[in-house]
Amino acid sequence: PVLMILVFGIIAFGIGFNQKLVVTRAAREAARTMAITDSASASTSAAYNAAPSLDSSSMTVVLTACGPTPDLDDVATASISYPYDYEIPMVGSFSVTLSSQAVMHCGG
């Protein structure tokens, strides 16, 4: 039983780590799109498209725009958080919030 719990725990951690990488990729794509287009709707859509395995209705996307006349020092940011439930058979489940933030210079 202990070995089975350990194996299931490793599998659950691997799946959770994969989901964390998906959230990170979505944040990077949203920040890149915001830096180039300065459009919140396009950036949110880019985040959703970069994370097809996640439920977009549960994903929280917070964006910071470059503005109408960005300087060289201005940056666009995207912060994404996503609730994730670890489920380990014979142990139970617990929830964590996976989050990531990306920063890109304005204008590409």
What pLDDT sits at residue 55?
Answer: 94
What pLDDT sits at residue 11?
Answer: 93
Contacts of 76 (CB under 8 A, 6+ apart): 31, 34, 35, 38, 43, 63, 64, 65, 66, 103, 104, 105, 106
- pLDDT tens over the chain, length 108 residues: 889 989 999 999 999 999 999 999 999 999 999 999 889 999 999 999 999 999 999 999 999 988 777 777 889 999 999 999 988 888 889 999 999 999 999 876
Dihedral of the CA atoms 18, 19, 24, 30 (nearest 10)?
130
What pLDDT sits at residue 42?
Answer: 95
Please state whether the predicted TM-score (pTM) of the whole model is above 0.95. no
